[in-house]
């Protein structure tokens, strides 16, 4: 009876040791002898990923593993091992403390890491709709307008006023322009998005044009280059988009805002836990 | 009689432990084989395919289905690609290409993510932040481009027909000229899998139903879909298994 107990105890202990040994020598991050199946090499315990190896093979030689020659395989592996060794040496030499490129790359990499975390959290439609409701004006479609800009000489104020009064019922034709001795201004005359019309007209004229209804003319607007009269052929003001149409942009903006918030929080956290001493003269 | 019963019980327990250990070791062995296999050869290996799809399916349902749908059918109203149609934006749909996307994502902010091209928003003052040389287009320009695309896809009739052929010609000129569309979509408009620009001639649209309105929306406001990077969130074996499962969805082997 006692022998059997000891035997069972021994079996249990042996099984435990075997399992512990197996785990110790194969677990990711602890293995010193066996290359994990997802990797192609261990360089001073640092793994070189199989996926990266395959990708590198594709990038360098345009072949997959099956079609790669032994020379190509070896070349890619050697290159990757060399790179890993140099990176490790770079850490030993602490190149980040002296090389601005390395510092820049590290800052960028950490920022990317933070953003990647934000990206992997998938917002629900409810969250997106709440965001959309708060920023609805951002998702209005761009307005469009077709506007004519008539420019009269500085001395033709009366003609400009007469033209402005008559343009409500008549669109400006080349014949009318010739009759009034007016010229066409910088507005293209074709249908334009609001942002483009603003660029062509300038802020002052655009703000007048924005308020004009279809087939109406503005009052004369004196400017340095002459007296302007705007005639609005058609004015489609920005229409608010519905959530379904704007969802894609809402999602991008929501994510960008999450990333921005996360970066600010991360910077604050790092600053909080850091021991920073500032020189007296800069305090 | 009592002794043999005890021995029998001990033997049964040992057998159970043995079976569990065998299953565990077999699973691990298959997992290692899956990871070490050349991804191109996995579809030819029935055992590995069965193992990987069985393992990948629940992971897909947990992590990917929230966007791609439980059957991988996607959602064109949200620009989520259909994974069942064997039409691929990034790469050519090999297990390796799919694995690359799962690992590092698309515009995921992972340093190795696919992030080379973004559809500009031509109906805005600054179509793209990356390239100031790309000019905005006018509403008429965009209408002409849409007319060209509808003609190209053979969708004109579906959208009511009657597209002005001169508008199509103007659209073609914009495509190959000032619009700069050819730069990503290719001068034949067949796209470029190396940067994820879609083929505009095959009638498959990622966003919307290929209608005039949907195309106008895409050209006016741009597109920049995102897929998160799963590297570090799923195990390498899990990622490979999901890649094989996704591959199987369009190759009729998902079971």
Distance (Å, rounded) from C-alpha B37 to C-alpha B241? 12
What is the end-to-end Cα distance of chain A in Å, rounded? Answer: 80
Q: Is the pLDDT of residue B229 over 90?
A: yes
> How near does any CA of chain A get to the CA of B110, in Å?
6
| Mean pLDDT estimate for chain A | 89
**pLDDT score of A170:** 78
Mutate which of A119, A143, A145, A260 to disrupt the B interface (most B C-beta within 10 Å)? A119
Query: B234 Cβ partners below 8 Å, 6+ apart?
Result: B59, B63, B102, B242
pLDDT for B46 beyond 90: yes
What does residue A39 show for φ and ψ, rounded to 5 degrees? -120, 165
Shortest Cα distance, chain B CAs vs residue A180, angstroms? 30
A275, A278, A279, A282 alpha-carbon torsion, rounded to 10°: 180
Closest CA to B115 of B104, B131, B125: B104
Q: Which residues of chain B are within 8 Å of residue A115 when distances are taken between CB atoms?
A: 109
Alpha-carbon distances, residue A193 vs A50, A144, A171 (angstroms):
50, 4, 21
Tokens standing for residue A62: 């345009």
The rounded distance, in Å, linking the Cα atoms of B160 and B188 is 25
Residue B171 near residue B184, CB atoms below 8 Å: no
Q: How long is chain A?
A: 283
Q: Which residue of B has its CA nearest to A49?
A: B236
Give the best residue of B221, B232, B241 to mutate against chain A (max A CB count within 10 A).
B221
Confidence of residue B181 (pLDDT cuts 50, 70, 90): very high
Q: What is the pLDDT of residue A147?
A: 92
- Tens of pLDDT, residue by residue over A208-237, are 999 999 999 999 999 998 999 999 999 999
B205 band by pLDDT with thresholds 50, 70 and 90:
confident
| Closest chain B residue to the Cα of A8, Cα to Cα | B10
Q: How far is A159 from chain B (nearest CA, A)?
A: 33
Residue-wise pLDDT tens digits, B76-100:
888 999 999 989 999 889 999 999 9
Q: What percent of chain A has pLDDT over 90?
A: 58
Say whether pLDDT at A94 is over 80: yes
What is the arithmetic mean of pLDDT over A244-259?
90
Tokens of A58: 């594709």
Which one of B77, B221, B239 has the shortest CB-CB distance to A249?
Answer: B221
Verify whether the Cβ–Cβ distance A259 to B109 is below 8 Å: yes
CA distances from residue B172 to B180, B207, B223 in whole angstroms, order as listed: 11, 21, 21
Smallest CA-to-CA distance from B152 within B125, B174, B127 is with B174
Interface residue A142 vs chain B (CB under 8 A): yes
Chain segment A18-66, per-residue pLDDT in tens: 877 766 665 655 556 789 999 999 999 999 999 999 989 999 999 988 8
Pick the residue from chain A with its C-alpha nearest to B34: A37
CA atoms of A70 and A73, how far apart (whole Å): 5
Determine contact: A6 vs chain B, CB below 8 A. no
Residue B249 φ then ψ, to 5°:
-60, -35
User: Which residue is closest to B99 within chain A, CA to CA?
Assistant: A51
* Least reliable range by pLDDT among A91-100, A115-124, A272-281, B21-30: B21-30
Set of chain B residues whose Cβ sits within 8 Å of the Cβ of A113? 109
* Closest Cα in chain B, distance from residue A160 (Å): 30
Residue A103: band (very low, low, confident or very high) from pLDDT cuts 50, 70, 90:
very high
Q: Are strands A192-193 and A226-236 parallel, antiparallel or unpaired?
A: unpaired
CA nearest to B238, candidates B83, B63, B105 = B63
CB contact under 8 A, B139 and A109: no
pLDDT value for B27: 66
Other Cβ atoms closer than 10 A to A56: 19
Beta strand segments in chain A, E: 39-43, 46-49, 144-152, 183-184, 192-193, 216-217, 221-223, 226-236
Give the count of beta carbons closer than 10 Å to the beta carbon of residue B35: 20
Instruction: Provide, as residue numbers in chain A, all residues whose Cβ is less than 8 Å from the Cβ of B223.
Output: 248
Contact B236, A52 (CB under 8 A): no
Q: How far is CA A150 from CA B45, B149, B222, in A?
A: 76, 37, 35
Q: What is the mean pLDDT of residues B125-132?
A: 81
DSSP assignment letter at A187: S
Whether A73 has its CB under 8 Å from any CB of chain B: the answer is no
**Residue B23 pLDDT more than 80?**
no
**Predicted pLDDT at A4:** 74
Question: Which residues, 6+ apart, have CB-to-CB distance to B186 below 8 Å?
Answer: B192, B197
A contacts of B233 (beta carbons < 8 Å): 120
Q: Kindly state the average pLDDT of the residues B126-151.
A: 89
Averaged confidence pLDDT in chain B: 88
Q: Does A245 touch chain B (CB under 8 A)?
A: yes
Out of B40, B105, B123, closest to residue A193 by CB = B123
CA distances from B171 to A143, A280, B198, B199 (A): 22, 65, 18, 17
Of A116, A195, A251, the CB nearest to B109: A116
The alpha carbon of residue B246 is apart from the nearest alpha carbon of chain A, in Å, by: 17
The pLDDT value given to residue B104: 93
Please judge whether A195 and B36 are an interchain contact, meaning their C-beta atoms are less than 8 angstroms apart.
no
The residues, ordered by sequence, that sit 6+ positions from A164 with a Cβ below 8 Å of its Cβ are A217, A218, A219, A220, A229
Half-sphere exposure of A83 (CA within 13 A, CB side): 12
Q: How far is B38 from chain A (nearest CA, A)?
A: 6
Contacts of A235 (CB under 8 A, 6+ apart): A143, A145, A146, A147, A209, A210, A212, A213, A214
Question: How far is the alpha carbon of B169 from chain A, nearest alpha carbon, in Å?
Answer: 19
At residue B225, the 3 state secondary structure works out as coil
- Whether the CB-CB separation of B191 and B200 falls below 8 Å is answered with yes
How many angstroms away from the CA of A154 is the closest CA of chain B? 32
Q: Count helices and strands (H / E) in chain A.
A: 10, 8
CB contact under 8 A, A119 and B229: yes
Q: Which residues does A282 contact at the CB level (< 8 Å), separation at least 6?
A: none
CB-nearest partner of B110 from A50, A112, A190: A112
């Amino acid at each position: 009876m006692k022998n059997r107990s000891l035997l069972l105890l021994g079996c249990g202990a042996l099984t435990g040791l075997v399992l512990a040994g197996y785990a110790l020598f194969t677990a990711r991050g602890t293995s010193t002898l066996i290359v994990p199946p997802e990797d192609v090499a261990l360089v001073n315990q640092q793994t070189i990923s199989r996926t990266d190896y395959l990708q590198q093979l594709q990038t360098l030689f345009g072949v997959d593993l099956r079609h790669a020659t032994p020379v190509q395989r070896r070349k890619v592996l050697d290159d990757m091992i060399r790179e890993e060794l140099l990176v490790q040496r770079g850490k030993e030499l602490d190149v980040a403390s002296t090389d601005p490129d390395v510092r820049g790359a590290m800052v960028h990499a950490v920022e990317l890491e933070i953003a990647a975390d934000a990206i992997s959290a998938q917002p629900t439609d409810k969250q997106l709709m709440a965001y959309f409701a708060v920023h609805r004006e951002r998702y209005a479609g761009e307005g469009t307008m077709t506007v004519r800009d008539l420019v009269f000489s500085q001395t033709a104020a009366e003609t400009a006023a007469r033209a402005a009064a008559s343009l409500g019922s008549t669109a400006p034709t080349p014949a009318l322009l010739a009759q009034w001795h007016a010229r066409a201004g910088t507005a293209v005359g074709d249908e334009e998005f609001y942002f483009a019309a603003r660029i062509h007209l300038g802020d002052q004229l655009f703000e007048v044009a924005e308020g004009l209804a279809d087939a109406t003319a503005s009052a004369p607007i004196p400017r340095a280059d002459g007296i302007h009269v705007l005639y609005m052929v058609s004015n489609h003001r920005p229409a608010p988009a519905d959530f379904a149409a704007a969802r894609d942009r809402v999602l991008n903006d929501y994510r960008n805002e999450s990333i921005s918030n996360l970066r600010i929080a991360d910077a604050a956290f790092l600053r909080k836990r850091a021991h920073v001493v500032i020189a007296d003269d800069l305090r | 009689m009592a002794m043999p019963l005890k021995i029998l019980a001990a033997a049964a327990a040992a057998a159970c432990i043995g079976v569990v250990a065998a299953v565990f070791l077999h699973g691990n062995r298959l997992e290692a084989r899956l990871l070490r296999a050349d991804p191109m050869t996995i579809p030819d290996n029935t055992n590995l395919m069965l193992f990987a799809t069985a393992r990948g399916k629940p992971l897909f349902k947990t992590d990917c289905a929230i966007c791609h749908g439980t059957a991988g059918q996607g959602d064109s109203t949200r620009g989520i690609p259909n994974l069942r149609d064997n039409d691929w934006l990034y790469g050519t749909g090999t297990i390796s290409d799919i694995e690359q996307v799962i690992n590092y994502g698309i515009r995921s902010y992972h340093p190795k993510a696919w992030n080379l091209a973004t559809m500009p928003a031509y109906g805005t003052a600054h179509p793209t932040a990356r390239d100031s040389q790309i000019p905005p287009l006018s509403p008429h320009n965009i209408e002409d481009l849409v007319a060209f695309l509808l003609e190209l896809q053979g969708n004109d009739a579906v959208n009511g027909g009657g597209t002005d052929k001169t508008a199509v010609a103007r659209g073609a000129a914009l495509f190959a000229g000032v619009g700069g569309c050819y730069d990503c979509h290719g001068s034949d408009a067949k796209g470029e899998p190396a940067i994820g620009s879609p083929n505009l001639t095959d009638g498959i649209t990622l966003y919307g139903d290929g209608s005039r309105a949907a195309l106008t929306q895409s050209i006016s406001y741009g597109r920049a879909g995102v897929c998160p990077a799963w590297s570090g969130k799923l195990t390498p074996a899990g990622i490979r298994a999901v890649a094989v499962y996704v591959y199987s969805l369009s190759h009729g082997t998902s079971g």
